[in-house]
Amino acid sequence: MKPEHAVALQHTVEALLGAESAGERLAAVCRVLQALPHYTGVYIYALEGDMLVLKAFHGRATGHTRIPSGKGICGASVLTRAPVTVVDVGSDPRYLACNLETKSEIVFPIIRGETYLAQIDVDSDDRAAFGAEDEDLLAEVAKLLAPLF
Ligand code: SME
């Protein structure tokens, strides 16, 4: 793991320990992750029935507060039950745009057993911003967040 990702993970653990409610924990984790230079916006959605519902974010606000599973990059992760990384959102027909600045996106699922609970969605203004280091970091964060859902 790159040093900056390791620092973000350490700060995530501290944020989780320091916050007093589940809502505060999610907000704090979004804030900590968004401090990474290429993380422009961080969003946490819970899967409620067939709907992804925005629970916390840091960075640009989004109009996509409720996303049907199967719609968008976020919904694609629910269907495949896997992380989805998009190098160039402009050339992905699944993409639900929030703004014109976003160039790439990663969605990482939070799964317990067989149950898809929630997901971490990160936008970047940089093209091809996300790689294996980001997947490794978000996998650890997803494990830490799973008990909150
Ligand atoms: N771009 C996402 C929608 C959510 S916003 O990025 C916060 C998608 O295509 O599903």
Q: pLDDT for 36-86, tens place per residue?
A: 999 999 999 999 999 999 999 999 999 999 999 989 999 999 999 999 999
38: which DSSP letter?
A: T
For the CA of 41, the closest atom of ligand 1 is: 7
The per-residue pLDDT for 79 is 96
Residue 119 belongs to domain spanning:
3-148
Residue 98's pLDDT is 85
C-alpha distances out from residue 74 to 29, 62, 119, Å: 19, 13, 8
Ligand 1 pocket list (CB less than 6 A) = 43, 62, 64, 67, 72-74, 95-96, 98, 105, 121, 123
Q: How many domains does the chain have?
A: 1
Mean pLDDT of 140-147: 96
CATH classification of the domain holding 64: 3.30.450.40
pLDDT at 19: 87
User: In 10 A of CB 62, how many CB atoms?
Assistant: 18
pLDDT band at 1 (very low <50, low <70, confident <90, very high): confident
| Torsions phi, psi for 143 (to 5 deg) | -65, -40
Residues 95-115 have pLDDT tens digits of 999 889 999 999 999 999 999
Question: What does pTM read for this prediction?
Answer: 0.96
